[in-house]
Amino acid sequence: MGKKENTLKNMFKGVGGAFFALVVMVVVLCVFTNTFATRLNFVNLLKQITCNCLLSFGLTCCLITGFPDLSVGSHVALATVEVCMYQNMGMSLEMSILITLAVGILIGATNGFIYSRTEMPAYIVTLAMQNVLRGIAYVLTNGGAVIVANDVGMKFFKLANATILNWIPYSTIILLIVFLIINTLLKRTVFGRHMYAVGGNSSTAIYSGIDVKNIRLVVYTISGFLAAMAGILTASRVYSGQPTTGVGFEGEAIASAVLGGVSFTGGVGTLSGSLIGILIMGVMSNGMNLLQINYYWQLVVKGIIILVAVYVDQVKRSRTK
Amino acid sequence: MSAEYIIEMKAVSKSFYGAKVLYDVDFKLKPGEIRGLLGENGAGKSTMMRILNGIYTMDSGQIFVDGEEKHFSLPKDARDAKIAFVHQEIALSGNLTIAQNMFLGLEKTTGKYFVDDVSMREAARASLESLNLNLNVDTLVGTLSVAQQQMVEIAKALMQDARVLVLDEPTAALSEKEVRFLFKQMRRLKEKNVAVIFISHRLNEIEEITDTLTVLRDGHIIADGVPTTGLTSNEIIAMMVGRNVTQFYGSEKPQGTDEIVFEVKELTNSVLDHVSFQLKRGEILGFGGLVGARRTELMSAIFGLDPLESGDIFLHGKKIVNKNPRQAIQNGFGFVSEDRKRNGLILVHSIARNLTMNVTSTFIKGIRYDKRKEKEIVDEYGNKLSIKMSSMEQLCQYLSGGNQQKVVIAKWLASNPAVLIMDEPTRGVDVGAKSEIYQLMSELAKEGISIIMVSSELPELINISSRIAVMHEGKLGKIFDEDEIVQSNADELQKEIMFYATGERE
């Protein structure tokens, strides 16, 4: 039993406050609305967090290795467009998904390659890529939405919308698998160790013979892959390709990770922590919708909550010194 | 009104979160006195100085400046009381000019809002001149050497008519020649009746420059205002560590066998000029020289951090190439760099993470993570170097300098090197840990590891090295062999080394 407690403790190390906040939010919503604790809303919540969850997983990797990937928001938009267009070009759903993911890998690798080889700041490289990808999404669609014309048997629609036993969306299973893989990568592999080392102090990592450049390349590739995956599932959920979607998604994903204890300065954080951050952001949006708070005000509230949470975290950190 | 003491601290105490770090500290300083402030890391020196600087507020006690009680709650209060600080880490902005830096936060203005560059540059020039510094006030600080930057800091402090100047380890980054210059300046200040508090871990400097000593140990004052003359180094060390360090530099020097483990021939790149030397099994080869002698650059080139234009490296008689650190590590090299915070440690990570960094693949294979083996490694090297830690999960940022350095050394030992390069292995480390590191180095050498030690401290170089190589501007001038070191006395040898280090002899 002692050991189990320990792993639990480890899992929530540093994110105790965030976890507590999550519990409070859930309790409040259960008490003050009669729509929160329902099957329908539960399924809805799981579907809503899918996109941010995948992006946050990617950004957790990026932040642990040092710097965020700011291109993921527009990458989502491009991927939604791609996956629909490929189908309209007559490709099968499976093929469309595979190509979208492959392009995602390529985009991520491009980010990683430029950043690691030229040593331009990652912020600049991925910010530029953000514009490039958004632009391509507009060019491909002329700014309008793309609707899938021949979705045989609603297979594409079901991807993100169908559920198992009416409770668990398929997409949630995907999230779980991705979580397990990345969590293992971070916690149990040499590569994961090296990611933390590069983010913690890249110079020390170089002196220790760690291949800093290629680690950065791979990490941004992972982020690109997950952004493409997020785009595919988003397209399926809204059943169209939307070149305008994804604005500010990278901000929400970064906020989720940081809420979950991932350090903005690199080298520190866990995927389970990020997951709590993701749930907080998800429950918060969902709850504010249920409480019928105007979307514009939701943005204001979210911003303030991020500021407060990060400030609390920072105060806590400086106290332990 | 003029009192006998320029500064008097009475029964000053301070705690952090329940842990007491200063116990009723009494401190008295006369005008025109050069006071050495000594103590191991964690003894309370910096806390005491930060109270005097208004960065921390004391829990109880009193501070008198010139007989008048003062309450410091901000650095500005200390500045107003004419107490100036030059911190260990240089607090200048590299992108501003000397004049701009000297007036940072104190800008002179015409009217109320407009900066008065003309008079600021004039005043800055006067202040530099009073120190005999030949610098242009419009030079960007970032282009100056560390020593020059430090002089600018001192000039800045003096420009504010400081009556007390606190120098926190000012010599850590200085070459021998620059230290001389600093000492000359300190003596000039003394003549002007400025009191100087000098913090240093280098005993020979303390003995040379200070009039009196204050020794702190575990937050208690052990001695205050005792004259430096008449105390031997061993007595001073004994006061600091509370025990007698009889064998400060280790029992006997390792001599090494005749087997040549490592050899470089004619190493040349943009800063190195045909450097050749051999390293024997089980010896400590010291590298002396002034700052700018390119010793660190030589080590970086050997370790594959910097490219080589020509020259060969041989390990066990076989020609090898270290294209990058990874290859160097695989070939059996280790590199304890001179800046542990920058290149040696990941401060936000645990001791265990840092210590096992080079050998992760021995206990993580694929996704099989052998925690027990990891712990074994940490225990083995933690014990071997007696690293003081509350647990192996403790973060390195909370360790003292000495313990941090031990973690770095342990990290490199874990990868089992044949050749261990140690660049300034005791920089910023307190006396107790210093002695432990010396003992360890001599043990390692006796176990058969060949060590290259770069050191700017002559006593360390002379007392630790089996042989001493001296560099000057990228050239290796001379290697003193065992006999030459044994036969000459320490003063002679220091002089000889300086001859080659300054390039007067080649």
Q: Do B325 and A208 touch (CB under 8 A)?
A: yes
Residue of B nearest to A197 (CA): B346
User: Are B466 and B445 contacting, i.e. CB atoms less than 8 angstroms apart?
Assistant: yes
Q: Do B367 and A203 touch (CB under 8 A)?
A: no
Asked whether the predicted pLDDT for residue B486 surpasses 60, the reply is yes
Asked whether the predicted pLDDT for residue B506 surpasses 80, the reply is no
B130: helix, coil or strand? helix
- pLDDT-based confidence at A7, cuts 50/70/90? low
Query: What are the extents of the domains in chain B?
Result: 7-241, 256-332+417-506, 345-416
Which among A189, A201, A206 has the least Cβ separation from residue B367? A189
Nearest CA-CA partner of B422 in B448, B446, B444: B444
Chain A residues within an 8 Å CB radius of B325: 206-209
Strand (E) or helix (H) holding B286: strand B284-288
Nearest CA-CA partner of B39 in B201, B202, B155: B201
Check residue A319 and give its pLDDT. 54
Would an 8 Å CB–CB cutoff place A211 in contact with chain B? yes
DSSP calls for B159-226:
HTT-SEEEEESTTTT--HHHHHHHHHHHHHHHHTT-EEEEE-S-HHHHHHH-SEEEEEETTEEEEEEE
- CA B428 – CA B172 distance, rounded (Å): 7
Query: How confident is the model over A283-295, as a mean pLDDT?
Result: 90
Amino acid letter, residue A128 = A
Q: Do A206 and B325 touch (CB under 8 A)?
A: yes
* DSSP β-ladder status, B195-199 and B164-168: parallel
User: Are A15 and A280 contacting, i.e. CB atoms less than 8 angstroms apart?
Assistant: no
Check residue B135 and give its pLDDT. 85
- CA B461 – CA B121 distance, rounded (Å): 43
Instruction: Give the distance from residue A189's alpha carbon to the nearest chain B alpha carbon, in angstroms.
Output: 5
User: Are A221 and A48 contacting, i.e. CB atoms less than 8 angstroms apart?
Assistant: no
- pLDDT-based confidence at A9, cuts 50/70/90? low
Query: What are the extents of the domains in chain A?
Result: 38-290+297-307
- pLDDT-based confidence at B243, cuts 50/70/90? low
Instruction: Give the distance from residue A250's alpha carbon to the nearest chain B alpha carbon, in angstroms.
Output: 25
Burial class (CB in 10 A: 0-12, 13-18, 19+), B191: exposed
Which among B337, B369, B398 has the least Cβ separation from residue A207? B337
Enumerate chain B positions whose Cβ falls within 8 A of a Cβ in A.
303, 305, 324-330, 335, 337, 342-349, 353, 357-358, 360-361, 364, 366-369, 397-398, 411
User: Which are the contacts of B230, defined by CB distance < 8 A and separation ≥ 6?
Assistant: none
DSSP label of B5: -
Tens-digit pLDDT profile for residues B61-86:
999 998 889 888 888 888 888 898 88
Would an 8 Å CB–CB cutoff place A151 in contact with chain B? no
Asked whether the predicted pLDDT for residue B322 surpasses 90, the reply is yes
Q: Do B361 and A190 touch (CB under 8 A)?
A: yes
Q: Do A209 and B344 touch (CB under 8 A)?
A: no
R_g of chain B computed on alpha carbons: 24
Would an 8 Å CB–CB cutoff place A189 in contact with chain B? yes
Check residue B217 and give its pLDDT. 85
DSSP label of A101: H
Give CATH for domain A38-290+297-307. Answer: 1.10.3470
- How distant, in Å, are the alpha carbons of A196, A260, B220 from that of B20? 35, 34, 10
Check residue B285 and give its pLDDT. 96
Query: How confident is the model over B125-131, as a mean pLDDT?
Result: 83
Best residue in A181, A198, A208 to probe B by mutation, most B CBs within 10 Å? A208
Chain A residues within an 8 Å CB radius of B367: 184, 188-189
Average pLDDT, chain A: 89
Hey, what are A144's tokens?
């309008």
Tens-digit pLDDT profile for residues A194-226:
999 999 999 999 999 999 999 999 999 999 999
Domain at B256-332+417-506, CATH class: alpha beta
- CA B301 – CA B183 distance, rounded (Å): 34
Residues in chain A: 321
Instruction: Give the distance from residue B170's alpha carbon to the nearest chain A alpha carbon, in angstroms.
Output: 25
- CA B417 – CA B488 distance, rounded (Å): 33
- The H-assigned helical ranges of A142-270 are 155-161, 170-188, 190-200, 202-207, 212-238, 249-259
- How distant, in Å, are the alpha carbons of A137, A158, A289 from that of A77? 7, 20, 23
Q: Do B342 and A204 touch (CB under 8 A)?
A: yes
- pLDDT-based confidence at A306, cuts 50/70/90? confident
Which among B342, B347, B357 has the least Cβ separation from residue A208? B357
Q: Name the most confidently modeled range: A122-136, A300-314, B387-401, B475-489.
A: A122-136
User: Are B463 and B308 contacting, i.e. CB atoms less than 8 angstroms apart?
Assistant: no
- pLDDT-based confidence at B475, cuts 50/70/90? very high
- CA dihedral (B487, B491, B497, B500) positive or negative: negative
Query: How confident is the model over B157-169, as a mean pLDDT?
Result: 85
User: Which are the contacts of B176, defined by CB distance < 8 A and separation ≥ 6?
Assistant: B290, B456, B458, B498, B501
Cα-Cα end-to-end distance for chain B? 58
Which range (A19-33, A79-93, A299-313, B331-345) has the least confidence?
A299-313
* Range list of β-strands (E), B367-474: 368-369, 419-423, 450-454, 467-472
Instruction: Give the distance from residue A67's alpha carbon to the nearest chain B alpha carbon, in angstroms.
Output: 16
Asked whether the predicted pLDDT for residue B388 surpasses 90, the reply is no
Check residue A4 and give its pLDDT. 45
Average pLDDT, chain B: 87
Chain B residues within an 8 Å CB radius of A180: none
Chain B residues within an 8 Å CB radius of A203: 342-343
Hey, what are B316's tokens?
């066990």
Chain B residues within an 8 Å CB radius of A211: 326
Nearest CA-CA partner of B345 in B304, B426, B383, B399: B399
Q: Provide the b/e sequence for B413-450 (b: ≥16 CB within 10 Å).
A: bbbebbbbbbbbbbbbbbbbbbbbbbebbbebbeeebb
Nearest CA-CA partner of B10 in B69, B55, B50, B57: B69
User: Which are the contacts of A119, defined by CB distance < 8 A and separation ≥ 6?
Assistant: none
Tens-digit pLDDT profile for residues A154-198:
888 888 888 888 889 999 999 999 999 999 999 999 999 999 999
- CA dihedral (B324, B326, B328, B331) positive or negative: negative
Instruction: Give the distance from residue B346's alpha carbon to the nearest chain A alpha carbon, in angstroms.
Output: 5
Asked whether the predicted pLDDT for residue B1 surpasses 50, the reply is no
Would an 8 Å CB–CB cutoff place A318 in contact with chain B? no
Hey, what are B298's tokens?
């030589």
Instruction: Give the distance from residue B408's alpha carbon to the nearest chain A alpha carbon, in angstroms.
Output: 10
**Tokens 């690798």 appear where?**
A109
Check residue A303 and give its pLDDT. 85
Q: Do B348 and A267 touch (CB under 8 A)?
A: yes
Asked whether the predicted pLDDT for residue B212 surpasses 50, the reply is yes
Number of residue pairs across A and B with CB atoms under 8 Å? 74
Q: Do B360 and A193 touch (CB under 8 A)?
A: yes
A309 — alpha (psi -120 to 50), left (phi > 0) or beta? alpha
* ipTM of the complex model: 0.84
Hey, what are A283's tokens?
């429950």
- Vertex B295: Cα angle to B293 and B296 (nearest 5): 125
Higher per-residue pLDDT: A257 or B92: A257
Pick the CATH number of B7-241 from 3.40.50.300, 3.40.120.10, 1.10.3720.10, 3.40.50.880: 3.40.50.300
Which among A189, A211, A268 has the least Cβ separation from residue B348? A268
Higher per-residue pLDDT: B431 or B474: B474
Asked whether the predicted pLDDT for residue A1 surpasses 50, the reply is no
Are both B7-241 and B256-332+417-506 of the same fold?
yes
Q: Do B367 and A188 touch (CB under 8 A)?
A: yes
User: Which are the contacts of A7, defined by CB distance < 8 A and separation ≥ 6?
Assistant: none
Strand (E) or helix (H) holding A26: helix A16-32
Query: How confident is the model over B251-256, as a mean pLDDT?
Result: 80
Q: Do B366 and A207 touch (CB under 8 A)?
A: no
Q: Do B345 and A209 touch (CB under 8 A)?
A: no
